[in-house]
Structure 1
C-alpha cells in the first residue's frame, strides 16, 4: 500500500503540473506559430519574462520551497500511509492536509492565487498571452524537473535534510 500511495502522489503532482505545462505550451505555440507578426517588443518581453519566471517561479518558488517540501512529504507518505493519505495522496504531498498551519495556508493561498491569475490571463489577447505563457511554461518545467531531482534525493539519501512540515 505504501508504494501505491507514493506512486499516486508522484503521478498526481506530476499530472497537475504537466497538464498546466501542456495547456500553456499550446497557447505559447499559437503566438510563435507565425500567424502573428511578433515585434521586437514581443521578443524582448518574452525573453525578459522568461528569465524572470525561471528565477521567480522555477528557482525561488519550486526549487527552494515547493519541490523539497513536496518531495519530503512524498517520502513521509511512503513511510506513513493511511487510507485517507492513500486516496488523497497528491493533495497530501502538496500540503493541503496533515501539514502544519503555515504549509496549509501557503498551499491554499497559492492555489487561489494561481486560479485568479489563470482567469486574468484569459483576458489577455494573443500574441501577448502566448508571449507570457512561454515564461510560465519554462518556470513550470524547471519546477517539475526540480521536483524529480528532490524525489531522487529524498528516496536515496538517509538524511536528505528536508522537512515534510507535519503538524
Structure 2
C-alpha cells in the first residue's frame, strides 16, 4: 500500500494526477448535461420514458457511481497517484494516465483499463444513435454516475492526504514494486 505524499513536490504530483482525471470527468458531465436535461425541459417525457429516465439514474448511480467509481476506480486512482508521487520521474508528465491505470501498470490492470476504455467509447457511439427521450435518459444516468465518481475521487483524495489511504492494490508493474 502507498503512503501519502508529504513533500510539496509529492503533493503537487498527486494532485496533478487526481485533478487531471477530475477535469476529464467534469468535461464529460458538462458536455452531457444539456442532452440529459433536454427531454425534461422540452416536456417530451411520457410515463414510460419518465420511468426509464429514473431507472437510468438509479441504475447508473449504483453501478457506475458507487460500484465502479467509489468502490474500485477512485480508491485505485488515489493510491496510484500517491505511488507516483513517491516514484517521480518522467511519468509525472502523464500522471492522470498513470493514475487511471492506462500506463505503468501490471499487465492485468493495463488490459482491464484499456478494454474498459474501448468499451466506453463503443457505448458512447451506440448511445449517440438513440433518439430522445431515450438518449436523455441514458445521459442523465451517466451524468449522475460521473458526478458521483468525481465527488468520490476528491473525497478519497482528501481523506488519503489526511492519512486514511485506501487499502487497495495500486496494480503497478512488478519491476516498479521492487524498485
Q: TM-score, normalised by structure 2?
A: 0.86
Task: Give the number of equivalent residue pairs.
Answer: 165
C-alpha distance in structure 1 between counterparts of 2:103 and 2:161, whole Å: 22
Assess if the C-alpha contact under 8 Å between 2:18 and 2:77 holds in 1: no
Residues 158 and 29 of structure 1: CA distance in aligned 2, closer, same or farther (over 3 Å):
closer
Aligned counterpart in structure 1 of residue 14 of structure 2, from 3, 6, 11: 6
Matched, 1:93 2:99: yes
Shift of 1:159: 5.5
CA distance in 2, matches of 1:96, 1:133: 25
1:58-95, CA deviations, whole angstroms, 9 ceiling, x for partnerless residues? 11111111011011111112211112x11111100101
Runs of 5+ unmatched residues, structure 2: 1-8, 174-179
Question: Which digits, 9 at most, give the CA deviation of each residue in 1:89-148, with x for residues without a partner?
Answer: 110010112111111111101100010011111100122111221111111111111111
TM-score (norm 1): 0.91
1:125 aligned residue: 131
Superposed CA RMSD: 1.5
Alpha-carbon displacement from aligned partner over 1:10-54 (angstroms, at most 9, x marks no partner): 2210111111111111211222212x4210111111111111111
Given that 1:75 and 1:155 are in contact with CA atoms closer than 8 Å, whether structure 2 keeps it comes out as no
| 1:91–1:97 Cα contact (<8 Å) kept | yes
CA distance in structure 2 between the aligned counterparts of 1:138 and 1:80, rounded to whole angstroms: 34
Within 1, Cα distance between the matches of 2:64 and 2:105? 22
Runs in 1 of length 4+ with deviation above 3 angstroms? 1-4
The answer as to 2:22 corresponding to 1:18 is no
Q: Secondary structure at the match of 1:166?
A: coil
Structure 1: give runs of 5+ residues left out of the alignment.
none
Pair 1:50 & 2:54 matched: no
Mapped contact 2:33–2:143 kept (Cα < 8 A): yes
Q: Is the 8 A contact 1:42 1:128 kept in 2?
A: yes
**Aligned residue for 2:176?**
none
